[in-house]
Amino acid sequence: MVHLLTSELLGCSVVLADLPPRRDLHGIGLSDSTTYAGPLAKKFTYTNTHFDIEPKLDIASVSPDLAACYEFIIASDVFEHVAPPVARAFSNARRLLKPGGVLVFSAPFIGTETIEHFPELHEYRLIESAEGWRLENRTADGREQRFTDLIFHGGVGSTLEMRQFSRSGLERDFAAAGFSRMRVADEAYLAHGIFWPEPWSVPMVAYA
């Protein structure tokens, strides 16, 4: 993620330890890994945000005051957990970026079409029982739904997978949100040990 970020912002890949501070570049992370969130905060005007703890940011519900505030956003393995409709998250990410800004993005993707696990999610709760976890949902028109065999990332009961993206679905999502273009960043960069042996779930860059 850092390789892509520095390549896009600065025109070349730079190890953060070697990068002079660039406080003129503003960015946010969406629950970024602490391995690079701390160093990024020392080099850029950057805040690592979270859904449930401070500093908070819900990418599905963003204040209009934040529009066009950032040169970059990093979202690594976040959007597959956003409650539907996920289009809100893509649109808000585009809205947060200044013209020419970049979204450095990753999410698991495979298959030919994005699969929504809970397409009618409205009022829901997760319940743990002796049989395991289940999701109980009341749809907007009042129907009761119950789902088992849930998929969690980061441990059972931790972060629920809401969907399985496809590459073509992601391409449509970025276009519908108003990004000028996007690319799948599957190029190798052996100087940093970056190599993608399989053509799925590799990072992407979307351009405002």
What pTM was computed for the model?
A: 0.95
Domain edges within the chain: 2-116+161-207, 118-160
Q: What is the mean pLDDT of residues 47-67?
A: 96
- pLDDT reading at 173 higher than 80: yes
- Specify the pLDDT at position 200: 84
CATH code of the region 2-116+161-207: 3.40.50.150
Q: Is the dihedral of CA 117, 120, 126, 129 positive or negative?
A: negative
pLDDT of residue 155: 63
Position 116 pLDDT exceeds 70:
yes
Whether residue 157 is predicted with pLDDT greater than 60 in this model: the reply is no
pLDDT of residue 105: 98
Per-residue pLDDT tens digits for 32-47: 999 999 999 999 999 9
Beta strands in the chain (DSSP E): 22-30, 44-49, 70-76, 97-106, 115-116, 123-129, 132-138, 144-147, 152-153, 159-160, 163-164, 181-184, 204-207
pLDDT band, residue 168 (cuts 50/70/90):
very high
**CA atoms within a 13 Å half-sphere pointing along the CA-CB vector of 54:** 0
Confidence band for 154, pLDDT divided at 50, 70 and 90: confident
pLDDT tens-place string over residues 98-112: 999 999 999 999 999
Residue 156: the pLDDT is: 57
What DSSP assignment string belongs to 84-128? SPTHHHHHHHHHHEEEEEEEEEE--B-SSS-EES-TT-SEEEEEE
Mean pLDDT across 160-178: 97
Give the pLDDT score at 79.
Answer: 98
Q: What is the pLDDT of residue 135?
A: 97
Confidence at 19, pLDDT banded by 50, 70, 90: very high
